[in-house]
């Protein structure tokens, strides 16, 4: 583990200083930020500038080691005075640190990172605020690295067919298989891509993390877990159809999704996994009896919101560690699905489908699953997407779903 260590006393920024940063504009803030976190539908924007502390884990490490690092950092972090914005510590980790494959493009990110920005600028609605922690401040955007290369992964159609055979033979119930594509970025900087994601997918969580000249960014539709003042919020998001070309086709696809026993079974698997994994960490879990549909720009998903209160002594990090990887991005049972991913996918996912989020010293925070993501550097971007494979899956249908998800980012990046 490497560490960039500085003083970790949080100090509110003066109104004049906050106004100086606000006046730079959103593009400037995105361009100079080490980390960003945006929830357009909630009126939330967070721009983390510079580095007070950054801890990076080895490629073979993951969420467990990251959790120890973030808890150590939070224990020594002096909070802002009452009424001032709380410092936010960001955490991201790889999907599967046990995967022996290593894509060198992810070396700058490590197996995980815990990051406390030197300055954090927060907009909530029309109100802007900021907090500072002594550290290294950015001189400007980082230079990009050498171009990304294509990964030599599995033939996804063959891998899906093999997975269906193993599922029907009773080896496991579900596995999520993913693929990647490398596309040219052209003149668009990561800051411009982020602005396009905000405009195209306002109901998602748009995030970015910069390391070693690379930028990892995405527009995740899938919350993992969030806590505010002890209230826990979770989501099951599994089962999908593309959006229709007009309102009539869109409604027909929605009805087809809601009526599909295959998609509803896949969705119930995630709901029951959340109930099983989180039940002892939460009190009074509220789980609707049937899913509704969440519609994004080019895809719609079965959606079930779940809520409760953290049990005494439990934390958001407890919940995140218990849930990851969910059946929505790994499969079920978990260990058998991870083994199948390593055998069949033959690709280093890096941080794709891993946990990404933040937590403050009071235990509030939010994590999402790193989906609809791209790794950008050297004028190219590697896009990632996957699909859940169950007994009734067909290679053609699942490949179409993967391409639909890839198109969500491809269309934004190549605009």
Task: Give the residue numbers annotated as catalytic, written as ranges.
Answer: 174, 222
Helix axes 316-323, 63-75, angle to 10 degrees: 170
CB neighbours of residue 44 within 10 Å: 15
Distance CA 226, CA 230 (A): 10
The pair phi, psi for residue 69, each rounded to 5°, is -70, -40
CB 86 within 8 A of CB 333: no
**Alpha-carbon distance 175 to 405, whole Å?**
17
**112/96 Cα distance (integer angstroms):** 11
Find out whether 237 and 303 touch, Cβ atoms under 8 Å.
Answer: yes
> What span, in angstroms and rounded, lies between the C-alpha atoms of 312 and 208?
33
User: How does DSSP classify residue 298?
Assistant: S
CA–CA–CA angle 269, 271, 274 (5° rounding): 110
Residue of 162, 250, 206, 240 lying closest to 42 (CA atoms): 206
**Is the separation of the CB atoms in 360 and 86 below 8 Å?**
yes
Of how many residues is the chain composed? 415
Q: Is 82 exposed, middle or buried (0-12, 13-18, 19+ CB in 10 A)?
A: exposed
Query: What three-state secondary structure class fits 410?
Result: helix
* Helices first, then strands: H and E counts in the chain: 10, 22
Q: SS3 of 211, please?
A: strand
Nearest CA-CA partner of 109 in 66, 153, 166: 66
Is 176 within 8 Å of 339 (Cβ atoms)? Answer: no
Dist CA 401 CA 263 (whole Å): 12
Rounded to an integer, what is the distance from CA 376 to the centroid of its chain? 16
Burial class (CB in 10 A: 0-12, 13-18, 19+), 165: exposed
How many angstroms separate the CA atoms of 160 and 154, rounded? 10
């Amino acid at each position: 583990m490497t560490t960039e260590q500085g003083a970790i006393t949080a100090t509110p920024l003066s109104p004049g200083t906050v106004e100086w940063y606000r006046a730079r504009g959103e593009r400037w803030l995105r361009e100079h930020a080490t980390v960003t976190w945006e929830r357009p539908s909630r009126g939330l924007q967070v721009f983390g500038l510079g580095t007070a502390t950054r801890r990076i884990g080895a490629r073979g490490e993951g969420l467990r080691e990251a959790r120890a690092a973030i808890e150590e950092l939070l224990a020594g972090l002096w909070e802002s005075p009452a009424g001032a914005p709380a410092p936010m510590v960001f955490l991201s980790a790889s999907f599967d640190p046990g995967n022996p494959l290593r894509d060198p493009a992810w070396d700058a990110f490590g197996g995980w990172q815990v990051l406390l920005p030197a300055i954090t600028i927060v907009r909530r609605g029309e109100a802007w605020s900021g907090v500072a922690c002594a550290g290294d401040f950015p001189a400007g955007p980082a230079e990009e690295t050498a171009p990304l290369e294509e990964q030599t992964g599995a033939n996804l159609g063959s891998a899906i067919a093999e997975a269906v055979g193993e599922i029907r033979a009773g080896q496991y119930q579900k596995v999520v298989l993913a693929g990647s594509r490398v596309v040219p970025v052209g003149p668009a900087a990561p800051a411009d891509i982020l602005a396009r994601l905000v405009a195209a997918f306002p109901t998602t969580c748009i995030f970015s993390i910069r390391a070693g000249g690379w930028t990892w960014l995405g527009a995740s539709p899938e919350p993992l877990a969030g806590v505010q003042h002890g209230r826990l919020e979770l989501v099951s998001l599994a089962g999908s159809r593309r959006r229709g070309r007009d309102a009539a086709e869109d409604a027909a696809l929605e009805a087809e999704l809601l009526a599909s026993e295959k998609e509803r079974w896949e969705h119930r698997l995630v709901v029951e996994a959340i109930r099983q994994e989180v039940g002892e960490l939460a009190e009074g879990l509220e789980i609707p009896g049937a899913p509704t549909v969440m519609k994004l720009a080019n895809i719609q998903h079965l959606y079930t919101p779940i809520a409760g209160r953290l049990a005494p002594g439990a934390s958001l990090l407890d919940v995140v560690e218990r849930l990851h990887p969910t059946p929505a991005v790994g499969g079920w049972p978990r260990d058998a699905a991870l083994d199948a991913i390593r055998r069949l996918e033959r690709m280093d996912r890096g941080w794709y489908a891993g946990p990404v989020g933040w937590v403050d010293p009071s235990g509030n925070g939010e994590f999402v699953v790193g989906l609809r993501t791209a790794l950008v550097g050297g004028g190219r971007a590697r896009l990632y997407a996957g699909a859940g494979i169950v007994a009734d899956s067909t290679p053609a249908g699942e490949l179409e779903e993967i391409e639909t998800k890839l198109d969500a980012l491809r269309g934004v990046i190549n605009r």
